[in-house]
Amino acid sequence: MADLIELISPDGGLVAAIDSATGSLVGLRSGPGGWAVLDEARSARPFDLLVPLPERRRNRTRDVAQARPKVVSPVPGASVELQWDELRTGPGTAHDVTVVASYVLDGDGLVCSMTIDNRSELIVESAVFPYLTDLQPPDRAQDFGSFTYAYGTARRHRLWPQFDNVVGYYGVDRPTIIQEPHAITVPGSPFLLLEGPGRGLYLGVDEAKPELMTFVLELEPGYGESIDARVPVGPTIGGKEVRLELSTVHLPYVMPGERRVLPAVRLQFFTGDWHDGAAIYRTRRRTWMGSSNPPSWAREPHAWQQVQMNSPEGERRYRFTDLPQIARECAEAGVRAVQVVGWNDGGQDQNNPCHDPDPLLGGPEELRDAIAECQALGVKIVLFSKFVWSDRATERFRRDLVRLAVKDPYGDYYMHPGYRYQTVTQLLDINTKRLVPMCFGSAEWVDVCRQEFQKVLDAGADGMLYDECFHHVPAVACFDSNHGHRYGAPVYAHDVDFVGWLRAQSDPVRPDFLYAGEACTDWQLSEYHLSYHRSEALDHLPLMRFLRPDALIMTAVTGFDDRDMVNQCLLYRYVMSYEPYNFKGRLTDVPLTVAYGRQMDSLRLELRDWLWDGEFQDTIGATVIDRASGRPHAPYSVFKSASGTSLAVVVANYSVKDEVVVDVRTADGGDAAGDGGIAGSYRLVEGTGWLSAADGVRVPPRSAAVVLGRPLG
């Protein structure tokens, strides 16, 4: 085709085709004869911009042919830039907006970027680029799906032969997959994988630019059979094209007279499974962002306890003077730190952002004295903190802080439904405290946070755990320019910077202060020292651990004989957070869990060269086969030693009653001892000695084994 511009990566592993007549990406394949994700894409469009009109908000460029673009400074086979000097959104309707789209080959990837110069009187609200309008599965005889980050793990959706609709069908024209509000941001979910059998396509942000961006998948025109979410099998149905569309959606809110450059997006093929796709992001991110440096005590293998002093319903189960006894119990159990929740006036999730020590628990002086006594016992105290919300029911919010709340386009604040605690009236959502997301684009609100954070420092705490630092739901952008930011500014834009702002206060007096947060995004872990999440699932996928092999990640251990969760912590190098009675109890309430946890931590300390200081590989580098069935066994994980010369494999057995006997082999199939190999000896968490693996690794129910290439000790 005369109008076709082809870009071919140096190794030939990626071939892209752009129609110069329309500017649309019409071809994308993984080398000659490879997977054609796009193959002369039907209904191809170069982009889709939303430019709302007063009488029609859904005013889009999607369904209107644009003028032929200018082809600007192409580099044959390597890059092309296309320019449109106006936008069309309807017959005879043109807007004074210039759009420049570029496609540039960078190694194995295609980098797509867009600039919008808005000289019209309208707001360019959203922009889809790159736009893949006709996705083809790599193998129509097998499953095809999507993979994205979600709360420390991953979320998968089916695309073929079934398609998962995740939104209310009443609100869209066709089945749609879109991310949750807290993931509609580059820091929240910076990449998406399209997964086929043994191969996939990576799409991810390619620079450290914290703007609003998400991925939307749609099935055109809709289901063939809706009862089982079936994708029509033919190219058409009822005279309509059958297509899978993938939109990379930016929400820039480009104002009249404003010119904006959107975050660059990388497309790159990979061979293998999700590890290989996620590794592309991990490699790219390392070029623009590093990792935090935790205090020395936190870098050692250790465990925590979380305890709640008071809920919003005024339980006050402990006073501050009880903390030293809790710390003694921790010291006796080998637990290094206590996260104290509900210590603030009003209790957990009430009176936000107030961080005044509750006077009915003992007040500031008793808290300081109690923390000092705990520290003398060798136990660190980390105070639960919350800055993202304001409690709507407080006079402080109604009279003053309401000005600093995130505002919607109509000038109203957003509201989170809040969390329900303990009493029947709260559990029925009758008297629940509603929470209002606040604007971190406001210097005044940040100053409020600094004042509240000072109270944590004044208490003498060893650190803080910032709860819900990863989201501002339901807000994603703030439209109140009185806060000192642009219209439609992303509310997540300062999530990484926030720790730096607080460190300006803490470093001069507490350079060893620990900054922890709940389910920190990958970008936040460049500043936060530790991320806490809950991962109680048999099929938990440790995506964040794979993205950040060295990060401190902690998970909740709540059961009364919670061996499987302890084993999960061994598998994935998670710090244990003991939380009996859902963090309302004491360690003495869960002696079975604590005893097994101590055994696990002892083993982890003994083998720290692999299990703590080594590099987590997930399942890369070894296979584990169930001898009885001949099938792969799960879960297991692989660690490379800190010296890089050998591997250790952790094998867990989640069965309640059945022992499993497995063979552990290196990735090349070997099972003999040797450098880099997995071999002859293993040790159980509850065991005291090394056992031979000659007849297989025998893992009792609810236990775990560590397999090494040589015995230790």
As given in the structure block, the two tokens for residue 426 are 């709260």
What's the pLDDT at 314?
Answer: 84
With a CB cutoff of 8 Å and minimum separation 6, the contacts of 689 are: 683
Beta-strand relationship, 303-308 and 337-341 = parallel
Question: Would you say residue 404 has pLDDT above 70?
Answer: yes
In a domain? residue 213: yes
Question: Would you say residue 711 has pLDDT above 50?
Answer: no
Share of the chain above pLDDT 90, in %: 81
Residue 44: strand, helix, or coil: coil
Among candidate residues 265, 285, 305, the one where a domain is terminated:
285
Write the pLDDT tens digit of every residue in 331-342: 999 999 999 999
Peptide bond before 130: cis, by omega within 30 degrees of 0? yes
What's the pLDDT at 497?
Answer: 93
Question: Would you say residue 42 has pLDDT above 50?
Answer: yes
In a domain? residue 435: no
Judged on CB neighbours under 10 Å (0-12, 13-18, 19+), 645 is exposed
CA–CA dist 207, 186 (Å, integer): 10
Task: Specify the CATH number for the domain of residue 112.
Answer: 2.70.98.10
Confidence label for 672 from pLDDT (cuts 50, 70 and 90):
very low
Write the pLDDT tens digit of every residue in 587-641: 999 999 999 999 999 999 999 999 999 999 999 999 999 999 999 999 999 999 9
Q: CB-hemisphere CA count at 13 Å for 587?
A: 27
In a domain? residue 196: yes
With a CB cutoff of 8 Å and minimum separation 6, the contacts of 366 are: 319, 320, 321, 357
What's the pLDDT at 646?
Answer: 87
As a whole number, mean pLDDT of residues 397-426 equals 93
**What rounded mean pLDDT belongs to the chain?**
92
**157 near 145, Cβ under 8 Å?**
yes
Residue 610: strand, helix, or coil: helix
In a domain? residue 402: no
As given in the structure block, the two tokens for residue 409 are 């386009």
If one counts every other C-beta atom within 10 angstroms of the C-beta of residue 258, the result is 16
CA–CA dist 100, 114 (Å, integer): 6
As a whole number, mean pLDDT of residues 362-372 equals 97
Q: Which residues pair with 97 in a beta bridge?
A: 118
What's the pLDDT at 678?
Answer: 55
CA–CA dist 293, 296 (Å, integer): 9
Q: Which residues pair with 201 in a beta bridge?
A: 194, 269
**479 near 397, Cβ under 8 Å?**
no
User: How far is the CA of 367 from the CAs of 147, 316, 384, 581, 702, in angstroms?
Assistant: 45, 14, 14, 23, 40
Question: Would you say residue 381 has pLDDT above 80?
Answer: yes
Question: Would you say residue 23 has pLDDT above 50?
Answer: yes
For residues 178 and 712, which has the higher predicted lDDT (pLDDT)? 178
In a domain? residue 654: yes
* Whether residue 166 is found in the same domain as residue 24: yes
* Whether residue 378 is found in the same domain as residue 274: no
With a CB cutoff of 8 Å and minimum separation 6, the contacts of 241 are: 42, 43, 220, 221, 235
As given in the structure block, the two tokens for residue 412 are 């109203």
Share of the chain above pLDDT 70, in %: 96
Which sign, positive or negative, has the C-alpha torsion 491, 495, 498, 500? Answer: negative
Question: Would you say residue 502 has pLDDT above 90?
Answer: yes
As a whole number, mean pLDDT of residues 92-105 equals 93
CA–CA dist 644, 404 (Å, integer): 51
Judged on CB neighbours under 10 Å (0-12, 13-18, 19+), 330 is buried
In a domain? residue 562: no
Phi (first) and psi of residue 330, to 5 degrees: -65, -45
Task: Specify the CATH number for the domain of residue 326.
Answer: 3.20.20.80
* Whether residue 235 is found in the same domain as residue 300: no
**488 near 50, Cβ under 8 Å?**
no
* Whether residue 256 is found in the same domain as residue 327: no
**244 near 235, Cβ under 8 Å?**
no
As a whole number, mean pLDDT of residues 350-365 equals 96
As given in the structure block, the two tokens for residue 526 are 């460049």
What's the pLDDT at 183?
Answer: 57
Domain residue limits at 674 = 611-708
DSSP result, 478-511: E--GGGSS-TTEETTTTTTHHHHHHHHHHTTT-T
What's the pLDDT at 167?
Answer: 85
What's the pLDDT at 91?
Answer: 75
Among candidate residues 266, 285, 304, the one where a domain is terminated:
285
**637 near 643, Cβ under 8 Å?**
no
Among candidate residues 285, 316, 341, the one where a domain is terminated:
285
In a domain? residue 601: no
* Whether residue 179 is found in the same domain as residue 104: yes
User: How far is the CA of 702 from the CAs of 25, 598, 653, 657, 686, in angstroms?
Assistant: 52, 16, 5, 8, 11
* Whether residue 515 is found in the same domain as residue 627: no
CA–CA dist 487, 527 (Å, integer): 27
Beta-strand relationship, 303-308 and 243-250 = unpaired
* Whether residue 510 is found in the same domain as residue 625: no
* Whether residue 661 is found in the same domain as residue 702: yes
Write the pLDDT tens digit of every residue in 451-494: 999 999 999 999 999 999 988 989 999 999 999 999 999 999 99
* Whether residue 113 is found in the same domain as residue 26: yes
DSSP result, 357-411: BPGGGTHHHHHHHHHHHHHHTT-EEEEEE--SEEETTSHHHHHTGGGGB-B-TTS
* Whether residue 76 is found in the same domain as residue 208: yes
As a whole number, mean pLDDT of residues 306-318 equals 90
Question: Would you say residue 18 has pLDDT above 80?
Answer: yes
As a whole number, mean pLDDT of residues 185-191 equals 74
What's the pLDDT at 434?
Answer: 93
Confidence label for 182 from pLDDT (cuts 50, 70 and 90):
low
What's the pLDDT at 679?
Answer: 57
What's the pLDDT at 462?
Answer: 98
What's the pLDDT at 77?
Answer: 84
Phi (first) and psi of residue 576, to 5 degrees: -85, 135
* Whether residue 273 is found in the same domain as residue 319: no
With a CB cutoff of 8 Å and minimum separation 6, the contacts of 620 are: 275, 638, 667
Cα angle 449, 450, 451; round to 5 = 90
Which sign, positive or negative, has the C-alpha torsion 37, 41, 45, 46? Answer: positive
Write the pLDDT tens digit of every residue in 127-142: 999 999 999 999 988 9
What's the pLDDT at 181?
Answer: 61
- Residue identified by tokens 């302890």 is 566
Question: Would you say residue 41 has pLDDT above 90?
Answer: no
In a domain? residue 458: yes
* Whether residue 119 is found in the same domain as residue 9: yes
What's the pLDDT at 33?
Answer: 80
Q: Count of domains in the chain?
A: 3
Across 226-235, 282-291, 446-455, the highest mean pLDDT is recorded for 446-455
Q: CB-hemisphere CA count at 13 Å for 260?
A: 23
What's the pLDDT at 671?
Answer: 43
Question: Would you say residue 676 has pLDDT above 60?
Answer: no
As given in the structure block, the two tokens for residue 480 are 């109140």
Cα angle 559, 562, 566; round to 5 = 125
CA–CA dist 521, 150 (Å, integer): 9
Write the pLDDT tens digit of every residue in 253-271: 999 999 999 999 999 999 9
Query: Burial code of 612-642, b = ≥16 C-beta within 10 A, e = fewer?
Result: bbbebbbbbbbbbbeeeeeeebebbbbbbbe
